[in-house]
Amino acid sequence: MDVEPPAQPVDELELAVGLARIRTMMRLLDVPRDLSITALSTLASLERLGPRRLTDLAVMEGVTQPAMTQLVSRLEREALAERQHDPSDRRVVVVAITPHGRAELARRRAVQAKRLAELLAELPGEDRAAIAATLPALERLTARAFGLAGPADPAVPSPEVSE
């Protein structure tokens, strides 16, 4: 698949700011706000990547281990996540998403998607087509950010962009 170079050089700062605005918009579409962004991101990571150690989750989310311990305890109280023994080493404890946690993420994504569809419906067809055309590149970008694609593998499917 050949991709033509952009007509103008890409302004990385402008691109980063634009993507940050999209992230903010997606967060604003997610209500209720009874779970923090870090809690939702942690659940989405567990769903996408499978069970993880607390220390790994803390690094991934950019929080301290004590903060992640508190967050996981809250997720456990709400039956969204659970601690389990690692099957490969019973001495190690990992955190996993529960079926209720998966259902909660799915519910939130459905609400978010409905709100996004309402906004997209207000745009001209060519804008909707342009946004849709960017999705494969955004998926490859996301895969790289999550370490799921190497330099020789640009077409690896990515995790869900919205969290």
Any idea what DSSP says for residue 56? H
> What is the reported pTM?
0.73
> Distance (Å, rounded) from C-alpha 68 to C-alpha 42?
9
- Could you tell me the pLDDT band of residue 161, with boundaries at 50, 70 and 90? very low
- Could you tell me the pLDDT band of residue 3, with boundaries at 50, 70 and 90? low
Residue 1 has pLDDT above 70, yes or no: no
Q: Could you read off the pLDDT of 83-123 as tens digits, one per residue?
A: 999 888 888 899 999 999 999 999 999 999 999 999 999 99
The CA-atom distances, in angstroms, between 144 and each of 114, 147, 151 are 28, 5, 9
Residue 153 has pLDDT above 50, yes or no: no
Residue 141 has pLDDT above 50, yes or no: yes
Q: What is the pLDDT of residue 158?
A: 36
- Computed over every residue of the chain, the mean pLDDT equals 86
